[in-house]
Amino acid sequence: MESLDLLSDTSFTALSHPMFPQYGVRIKKSGFCDETVSSYTGYIDIQARHLFFYFFESRSDPDKDDVIFWTNGGPGCSSGVGLFMELGPCRVVDADNGTVFHPESWNSKANIFFIDQPIGVGFSYAEYGETVSTSEEAAKDIAAFVAIFFAHFSKFQGRGFHMAGESYGGRYLPVFAAAVYDQNPLLVKAGIPPINLTSVMIGNGMTDVATMMPAWYETQCSPASVAPVQDIQTCIQMKARLPRCTKWFKESCQDQFDLINCDAANTFCALSLMVPYYSSGRNPYDLTKMCRGGSSGLCYDEIEEIIKYLNQEDVQALLGTEVSQYTTCSNSVGHDFSVTLDMLKPTKYYVSALLERGVRVLVYAGTYDWVCNWVGNNAWTLELEWSGQAEFAAHPLTEWTVDGKFAGRTRAANGLTFVTVNAAGHMVPYDKPKESLEMVNRWIAGQPM
């Protein structure tokens, strides 16, 4: 099928491929959110498991522009937040009034997917209670979907493909990208054009917990981001426990992965470094704010409106969803990933492997975020072992600007770029839509910050 225009707007068109006999894709026109482009929704079917996705064509040149894949984090949180609050073509401010046009959407110069993954997140579901509990398991489903989509919609073949996301996406995305890259030889062998995996973009990611732990202390108790937000006594207690935390974590989670001892080390570190921050009532995604919002527990009123909007019957009918109760984050999915200690397995080795194979990697971070802060992300990118490490680490952070105004700091070498976005929190496109769009457009075009 050359064009998405041939799809129905009233029912799903089912797609399959002989290389992936257990996978299928159902897709339909949806015509919502952005009247200036064509939009689509659908499901990735893996036997009795079903992943929901949105797809928007580029506002610029959909027949030539690159393709972006976006996932939110959690683990277990819907990409509806990314779509309706951050970088999507529309935003939900008041659920009763529907959506409003978002001029700084990332589909300004790119075609873009938003995917509810893994199974059990957002509008995704399993018929018989199947679950996914590791990023590596989830990667198999994502790689198959990408291959099926590009195989069927040939006009996108060969386009630059960028896998992007935030937060737990720091764990997901390098694993997903590696699965897509490693699948390419199988596609070629089957006579299918390979996926042109061009880059990975990680926003305020949780990529390496070991380097983030000291950063949790530093961003609370020093002016690394803003003035210290913790009282002196709490900071002294945290400082005293930090050496034991890092030593125990290294011995039990890094030198060897001992499930029981690693879990114990992580619990001690969380009690020592994270609980004091959460007890303060501050927003973990923005050091400058207190937590607000309702039942979602995600500290933003906008998320509550997104939940209300996506639970309206007419909206669900338009999208073609097969789940009637939308929640932003799934506690059960989060629990399943926590049992396997998935977050504690570093993804930085995937990053270095991708870089060595010519896949560019952008790591960006809002300076006001606490939970996946710029200090920790700066640290692991500097420590990353790969052939370009020395040159990358030798570059100082330099200012980048948008319209002549300071936007943050950056360093880059040999395909790896680190960027801070000044005065943005965890969700950079929400806080700094203009700067984030400029950053992404420069990145896709291969231009320096």
> DSSP strand E in 188-311: where?
197-205
Distances (CA, A) of 156 to 20, 29, 144, 151: 19, 17, 16, 9
Residues composing the chain: 449
> Using CA atoms in the order 113, 209, 216, 87, what is the torsion angle rounded to 10 degrees?
0
Contact assessment for residue 91 and residue 105, using Cβ atoms and an 8 Å cutoff: no
Element (H, E) at 55: strand 49-56
Instruction: Decide the pairing of beta strands 111-116 and 49-56.
Output: antiparallel
Judge whether 369 counts as a catalytic residue. yes
* Omega before 75 within 30 of 0, i.e. cis: yes
**Contact, 85 vs 306, CB < 8 A?**
yes
Q: Has 426 been annotated as catalytic?
A: yes
User: What is the distance between the alpha carbons of residues 226 and 220, in angstroms, rounded to a whole number?
Assistant: 9
CB 30, CB 39: distance < 8 Å: yes
**Which residue in 102, 152, 162, 426 is the catalytic one?**
426
User: Catalytic residue among 38, 39, 167, 436, which?
Assistant: 167
> CB–CB of 88/94 below 8 Å?
no
Catalytic residue among 116, 208, 369, 431: 369
Residues annotated as catalytic are: 167, 369, 426
